[in-house]
């Protein structure tokens, strides 16, 4: 058995039967030709930033280390870039800014790899991956074909995609094509960005790099470094509830925040709900809710995946009991 402790950001002490590094699509094809995908229990792992192992994985881990960047097309206002799926997401953001490309600066410091980004439809500060996504290339482990999936085929939703449903566990994403801008226009209307920019002495019009630096500062303040304190970032999705339900809750607690999704729905910050239930900063054995951000569950050093999972279930139950709202995990549970 091989330890996975340093290959996922919760750093739970779990193992797998074996580990295979994928450094090119050729290796994936070789595995298919050898009958690997039809005979072995396997799991693809990139940065390990969105998984919680509940126990040892009795199979083989495929470690995605496919690297590469290729500019496919460029004009005065935009650029189409192909990124290999093993590229670290934050490195992609920094590289893009260095090239003068913008559009993903609001997604700075999100952990994980390029290959995980479309699965999760990562998002932050008013921007989601789907906003710049064009298509991806993936290896179908059942047919052995390399297929191209459009934005429409990926069926992106809030922290959701086709890869969490009908294509779950079937596709190995090889590369992703993003259409980035070259206009230097950036979105600062969400969250604490403007306040942080002002505190740093920046003035409008803001540069994409300034916005990226501000968001990095915000995230580093709010979120613990997984190399210091094991975590997977936001553990739960922000729930979207009927506007009528939100209005009733607001009568009881006028401070409840909400963001209008459409005429009939409102998004409520899960972190606020969890904090109101008394979990922020609470430690339970070897795990707990982080002192600065209730939405982040942490491993204080020796927590098992099942221990963290138990706390998550308790939080879900308390939020449902107090607010009548069901919250769902962003993190994927692996058994």
Q: Which residues are catalytic?
A: 159, 234, 330
Query: Residue 245: which of 273, 206, 217 has the closest Cα?
Result: 273
- Per DSSP, helices labelled H in the chain are 25-33, 36-39, 89-98, 116-120, 151-154, 193-199, 208-222, 243-252, 270-276, 305-323
Residue 211 preceded by cis peptide, ω within 30: no
The neighbouring-strand residues paired with 138 are 147, 173
Beta strand extents in the chain (DSSP E only): 2-3, 15-22, 42-45, 51-53, 57-64, 69-74, 78-84, 123-124, 127-128, 133-140, 146-150, 171-181, 230-234, 240-242, 259-262, 265-267, 283-284, 287-289, 296-299, 332-334
**Token pair for 194:** 């403007």
Quick check: 171 and 119 in contact, CB under 8 A? no
| CB-count exposure of residue 273 (10 Å: 0-12, 13-18, 19+) | buried
The neighbouring-strand residues paired with 78 are 181
Beta strands 15-22 and 57-64, pairing class? parallel
| HSE-up of residue 275 (Cα within 13 Å, Cβ side) | 15
Which phi and psi (to 5°) does residue 56 adopt? -60, 145
Q: Coil, strand or helix: which one is 274?
A: helix
CA distance 213 to 207: 10
């Amino acid at each position: 058995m091989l330890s996975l402790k340093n290959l996922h950001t919760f750093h739970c002490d779990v193992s797998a039967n074996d580990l295979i590094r994928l450094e090119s699509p050729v290796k994936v094809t070789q595995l298919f030709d050898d009958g690997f995908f039809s005979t072995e229990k396997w799991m693809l792992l990139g940065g390990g930033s969105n998984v919680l192992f509940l126990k040892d994985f009795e199979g083989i881990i495929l470690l995605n280390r496919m690297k590469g960047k290729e500019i496919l097309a460029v004009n005065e206002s935009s650029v189409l870039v192909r990124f290999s799926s093993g590229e670290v997401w934050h490195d992609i953001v920094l590289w893009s800014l260095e090239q003068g490309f913008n559009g993903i600066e609001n997604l700075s410091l999100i952990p994980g790899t390029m290959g995980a980004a479309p699965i999760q439809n990562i998002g932050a500060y008013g921007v989601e991956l789907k906003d710049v996504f064009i298509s991806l290339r993936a290896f179908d482990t059942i047919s052995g074909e390399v297929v191209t999936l459009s934005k429409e085929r990926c069926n992106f939703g809030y922290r959701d995609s086709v890869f969490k449903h009908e294509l779950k566990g079937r596709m190995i994403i090889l590369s992703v094509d993003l259409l980035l801008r070259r206009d230097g226009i950036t979105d600062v209307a969400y969250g604490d960005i403007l306040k942080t920019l002002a505190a740093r002495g920046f003035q409008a019009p803001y540069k994409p790099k300034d916005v990226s630096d501000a968001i990095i500062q915000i995230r580093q303040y709010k979120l613990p470094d997984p190399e210091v304190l094991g975590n997977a970032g936001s553990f739960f999705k922000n729930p979207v509830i009927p506007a009528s339900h939100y209005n009733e809750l607001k009568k009881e607690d006028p401070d409840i925040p909400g963001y209008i999704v459409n005429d009939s729905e409102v998004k409520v910050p899960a972190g606020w709900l969890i904090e109101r239930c008394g979990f922020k900063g609470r430690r339970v054995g070897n795990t707990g809710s982080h002192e600065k951000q209730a939405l982040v569950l942490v491993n204080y050093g020796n927590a098992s995946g099942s221990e963290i999972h138990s706390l998550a279930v308790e939080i879900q139950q308390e939020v449902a009991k107090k607010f009548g709202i069901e919250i769902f995990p962003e993190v994927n549970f692996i058994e």
